[in-house]
Structure 1
Amino acid sequence: MTGYTVLLTLHIVVGAAGLALGPAVAWADARKPRPDLWTAYLGTVAAVCISAVGLVVWRRTDLWWLVPVSALTVALAMLGWRAAGRPGDWTHAYVHGLGGSYIALVTATVVVSFAVDGPLHGPAQLIAWLGPTVLGTPLLELWRRGLVTKRRVFSG
């Protein structure tokens, strides 16, 4: 097994873990915040982003622009973590930090599955690139509004 194969395997495993942990963090936080889940989610997001940078440097330097995208994905996850459970109106930062980092993971999965050497070519690749954001952002906003309404009901 080559070093590249090991790195790619690690990238796939931690990416799958991040996809599983994102909803678990959101679901648990709705009931009782779980720092252990947040730590695991942040670790997997960081690991998938670091391994993505390694894969870009190793074989796909033409995808250099994924390096800042990876950094922004980690930054979104950290924003969600820092905003979780904070007093005041941090709901927007929490939802869009956690949700935005999760949308980035889903987008990467869809793009690799359908646009990179996949069945989508030319302008149709925009479906893979933009679909998760177009579908996910309104869902995040509905979730955020529900959290704000719930907070008002319980605080007033």
Structure 2
Amino acid sequence: MLTSILITHTLAGTVCLISGLLAMSSRKRKGRHTYAGELYHGAYVTVFITALIMSIWHWEESQYLFYIALFSYGLSLSGYLAVKRKWKGWINFHIGGMLGSYIGIVTAVVVVNVPRIPLLNEWPTLLFWFLPTIIGMPLIFLVQWKYKPGK
């Protein structure tokens, strides 16, 4: 059973990576951007639920994944709801939430796979936990500036 949950988790994560890139690279209007965004959020729900199940199942060695899943999906949900509810400053919440959650998915992929990659597996593991955020945060601020209301 755990194997099927892991396969579902991996497939949903792959959908997140692809649909996230599609949403980021599309014109920001109804159509490709919104379709990819809906697909991204739906797949992220699956990643979130399967991550919770697997972390609870292997609590001793994976409890940190429980909290990472909560935090990452919280970003995705806030970005998703911001655009749906259009609250004040929604564009910054949308960009920050969606791109922040994308950083979370990229971090997970990197951290899980780097130990299997020769040369990279000799580098400090902590570097790979922070590198996606170090690269991604300035990009979030640039995109928020680009779409700043009244600009």
TM-score in same-fold range (> 0.5): yes
RMSD of the TM alignment (CA)? 2.5
| Residue identity opposite 1:42 in structure 2 | H
2:137 paired with 1:137: yes
Match of residue 96 from structure 1: 96
1:18 to 16, 19, 22: 16
Match of residue 82 from structure 2: 83
Question: Given that residues 107 and 128 in structure 2 are in contact (C-alpha distance below 8 angstroms), is that contact kept between their aligned partners in structure 1?
Answer: yes
| Aligned equivalents of 2:21, 2:117: Cα separation in 1 | 29
Q: Deviations over 1:55-113 (max 9, x none)?
A: 22334632202112211211111111122272642222111100110000000000001
After superposition, the Cα gap between the structure-2 partners of 1:55 and 1:107, relative to the gap in structure 1 and judged at 3 Å, is same
2:47 paired with 1:42: no
| Aligned equivalents of 1:139, 1:131: Cα separation in 2 | 13
Q: Across the two proteins, how many residue pairs are aligned to each other?
A: 148
Identity of aligned residues (%): 26
Q: How far did residue 29 of structure 1 move?
A: 5.9
Question: Given that residues 73 and 104 in structure 1 are in contact (C-alpha distance below 8 angstroms), is that contact kept between their aligned partners in structure 2?
Answer: yes
Report the TM-score, using the length of structure 2 for normalisation.
0.83
2:56 paired with 1:57: yes
| Aligned equivalents of 1:116, 1:53: Cα separation in 2 | 24
Match of residue 9 from structure 1: 7
| Residue identity opposite 1:77 in structure 2 | S
Question: Given that residues 115 and 128 in structure 1 are in contact (C-alpha distance below 8 angstroms), is that contact kept between their aligned partners in structure 2?
Answer: no
| Aligned equivalents of 1:60, 1:9: Cα separation in 2 | 19
| Aligned equivalents of 2:88, 2:27: Cα separation in 1 | 16
Stretches (4+) displaced over 4 A: 115-119
| Residue identity opposite 1:14 in structure 2 | A
| Residue identity opposite 1:11 in structure 2 | H
State the structure with more CA Rg. 1
